[in-house]
Structure 1
Amino acid sequence: MMKNIGNNQIHKHQANHNRGKNKRGNWLAVILFRISRRDFGFCLTALFVFCLGSLVWQLNGGPPNLLQDIRYYFGQSTFTDDHGPVAPKVLPFPSRVVYNRVGKCGSRTIVLLLRILADRHQFTLVSSDIHNKTRLTKHEQATLMRNITEIPQPFLYTRHVHFLNFTRFRIDEPVYINIIRDPINRFLSNYFFRRFGDWRGEENHLVRTPGMKDEERYLDINTCILENYPECSNPRLFYIIPYFCGQHPQCREPSEWALEKAKQNVLEHYLLVGVLEELEDVLLLLERLLPHFFFDVLNIYKSPEYKKLGNLTGTVRKHTPSLEALQVLYQRMEYEYIFYNFIRDLFHLTKRKIGLRSGPRPSRHHYNPAPRAHADEQDDDDAGHN
């Protein structure tokens, strides 16, 4: 009997052990099931985020902000370095500037300054060496504008070229700047530069006008004007306005239409058009309006190092025509002077808005026939007359 009682106790102990074991097994199964379901959901979520991130990456051409945040949360990684760029640097506004420089209006002075400024302020400067092709075909216009937009920003592009209407070709328009000069002074500077060069060496004119014969090279300026040589009459004298009128064929002929179109383009497309006779104020305004490009430009311009370079660009052998010849020139350049006075008035208005005082102004129909030394120092390469 004692043996049976012992056996019953043993069986009961085993049963209790088995029930405890089964209960632990059931709990373990439940825990494993819950963990597996949680892991499965996590994997699905991770897969969804990865697919969504990849889609956004491809659509935007770069990694989405979420992946960037994850990268910075877990520390720097080479993944985005290998598969896409980091967030771009903040660009100045505006970050795209075009200077379609007018020949013999101080553009060489500005280009010399820009080369120094580009190195100091880390912007891309593209200065075209094409000086004799200002008018382009429609295909050439579109190609040039697309090339300009592909320049790494911030950039400043400069070339002797008539105004390009980016919006006409549905291309985002850059900011335009320019400088002009008293039309007769510009003409005289160009006339003598083509013949005798500048202080960099008189042999420069041989490169600019290699086919010019001696009788043309030494042609007296008064004879050229008063005897109506082609170089000293229209349409050759109609030079500044086409740079602002644009590429339309009518922009090449002296007319009220071309004049008004040039004015309209200045008002709608140009941030600033200065006058060379007030160059220091032009530089000061450029520094105020485009600080990323022109910061400290006035101090550079006044430095002895720069003056040494700038003084080499003055045209040599330049002299003043007779009063009679000047009066003839003025009559032939009537549209040019209307436009010049318009730009000068607009420039003075901008100076007043900024808080700069304008210097003494001559009357609307006054022309000072004496070439000014200040203007001589700002002469630049000839842009051609094509």
Structure 2
Amino acid sequence: MRESTFVDDHGPPTPRELPFPSQVIYNRVGKCGSRTVVLLLRILAEKHQFNLVSSDIHNKTRLTKHEQVSGWVDLITNISNIPQPFLYTRHVHFLNFTRFRIEQPVYINIIRDPINRFLSNYFFRRFGDWRGEQNHLIRTPQMKDDERYLDINVCIMENYPECSNPRLFYIVPYFCGQHPQCREPGMWAVERAKQNVIENFLLVGILEELEDVLLLLERLLPHYFSDVLTIYKSPAFWKMGNLTGTVKKHMPTIEALQVLYQRMKYEYDFYNFIRDQFHLTKKKIGLKSSSQNSAHEPDFLRELALRTHEPLEEEEEEEEEEDDIGQEDANIWLVQP
């Protein structure tokens, strides 16, 4: 039996410093492989005896000013009271815990080529995945047929809201935070997101190099992720989850992709920064980067998109139209030691 690294096996736990870090938040970005990682974490939590807390709120990434002062403080307090070590995961934009005089947890995350993420979400919202032919009708019953079957090239070239800003400005706010300006496409949000990554994130990986992400997590957070790569590569893991690739996904025209790339220039600025940082971290521990392209040519110009491995996907959060949609409910499931 594997010996615990943080529990006194000879009696009641005695107060002592826990392995760093003992508080981790994975504020997972939608359609960036989060279900793959969450499934792995469920196995790892039982194997390594840490608390895994996963919110079942998928449509509340940001909060109103009132919620940040009241309900969000309650949620933070609840998180801070989870027995350590713990890993908390939710689709939520970055929050600075120090604003509430609470110790700042360590953040981790994974992002993806922005156009790939957008395409995956566009078709997933309409047609779902292998889990059932009618899955998309259950997920988005309010979507009318003229929207569901809207050609993506028309959506992009005729500037439909779903295919233009601010809806395309999606990844950066997860790292920028709760400030209203974080949702406005521009360099202010990008620079703030970069600074938060440097100061608060132990690792932000890229989905295109997922195995290397898992390897780094195993190196940096062994009391959470030890043996994760072995589990990920095992036939049993893929049999358990199967592949949930988005159905009916197809590539827009090169003209539409070029328009999309220009609209997502801030997303790509941030993505390229993350890719550089990730490769630098790999280099520091002796891992060779699979991508040596320093110019960061857009992936769609190198026949990407549909070739990117489609991971298991978590139930996707719906886009928020108003700041005060729904109620904040700290519904969670808890895997305890």
The TM-score with structure 1 as length reference comes to 0.76
Across the aligned residues of Structure 1 and Structure 2, the Cα RMSD in angstroms comes to: 1.7
Which structure has the larger Rg over C-alpha atoms?
A: 1
Q: Is 1:380 paired with 2:314?
A: yes
Give CA-to-partner distance per residue, 1:344-364, whole Å, 9 cap, x none. Answer: 000000001111111133332
Match of 2:23 in 1: 96
Q: More displaced, 142-151 or 317-326?
A: 142-151
Match of 1:292 in 2: 223
What is the SS of the residue equivalent to 2:57?
A: coil
Match of 2:189 in 1: 258
Does structure 2 conserve the Cα–Cα contact (< 8 Å) formed by 1:310 and 1:377? Answer: no
Give CA-to-partner distance per residue, 1:166-209, whole Å, 9 cap, x none. Answer: 01111101110000000000000000000111122233322321
What residue identity is the alignment partner of 1:330?
Y
Q: Is 1:135 paired with 2:67?
A: no
Match of 2:45 in 1: 118
Match of 2:284 in 1: 353
CA distance in 2, matches of 1:88, 1:198: 47
Does structure 2 conserve the Cα–Cα contact (< 8 Å) formed by 1:180 and 1:276? Answer: yes
What is the SS of the residue equivalent to 1:345?
A: helix
From 96, 109, 134, the equivalent of 1:178 is: 109
CA distance in 1, matches of 2:105, 2:153: 42
Counterpart mapping for 1:190-269 below 5 A = 190-269=121-200
CA distance in 1, matches of 2:240, 2:247: 16
What residue identity is the alignment partner of 2:243?
L
From 208, 231, 246, the equivalent of 1:315 is: 246
CA distance in 2, matches of 1:282, 1:266: 16
What is the SS of the residue equivalent to 1:156?
A: strand
Q: Is 1:167 paired with 2:98?
A: yes
Quick one: higher RCO (CA 8 Å, sep 6+), 1 or 2? 2
Does structure 2 conserve the Cα–Cα contact (< 8 Å) formed by 1:199 and 1:313? Answer: yes
Q: 1:309 to 1:225 in 2, by over 3 A?
A: farther
The TM-score with structure 2 as length reference comes to 0.86
Return 5+ residue gaps in structure 2 as ranges: 1-9, 321-337
Match of 1:35 in 2: none
Does structure 2 conserve the Cα–Cα contact (< 8 Å) formed by 1:200 and 1:312? Answer: no
CA distance in 2, matches of 1:234, 1:88: 50
Q: Following TM superposition, by how much is the alpha carbon of 1:101 offset from its aligned partner in structure 2, in angstroms?
A: 0.2
What is the SS of the residue equivalent to 2:242?
A: helix
What is the SS of the residue equivalent to 2:190?
A: helix
More helix by share: 1
Match of 1:39 in 2: none
Q: Is 1:364 paired with 2:274?
A: no
What residue identity is the alignment partner of 2:34?
S
Counterpart mapping for 1:25-64 below 5 A = none
CA distance in 1, matches of 2:220, 2:106: 11
What is the SS of the residue equivalent to 1:97?
A: strand
Does structure 2 conserve the Cα–Cα contact (< 8 Å) formed by 1:311 and 1:377? Answer: no
Does structure 2 conserve the Cα–Cα contact (< 8 Å) formed by 1:189 and 1:379? Answer: no
Q: 1:327 to 1:310 in 2, by over 3 A?
A: farther
CA distance in 2, matches of 1:86, 1:213: 57
What residue identity is the alignment partner of 2:60?
K
Give the % identical residues. Answer: 72
Query: Number of residue pairs matched?
Result: 304
What is the SS of the residue equivalent to 1:125?
A: strand
Give CA-to-partner distance per residue, 1:286-318, whole Å, 9 cap, x none. Answer: 000000100000010000011224433211111
Does structure 2 conserve the Cα–Cα contact (< 8 Å) formed by 1:315 and 1:379? Answer: no
Does structure 2 conserve the Cα–Cα contact (< 8 Å) formed by 1:102 and 1:383? Answer: no
Does structure 1 conserve the Cα–Cα contact (< 8 Å) formed by 2:250 and 2:306? Answer: no
Return 5+ residue gaps in structure 1 as ranges: 1-75
CA distance in 2, matches of 1:284, 1:301: 11
Q: 1:86 to 1:95 in 2, by over 3 A?
A: closer
Match of 2:207 in 1: 276
Match of 1:57 in 2: none
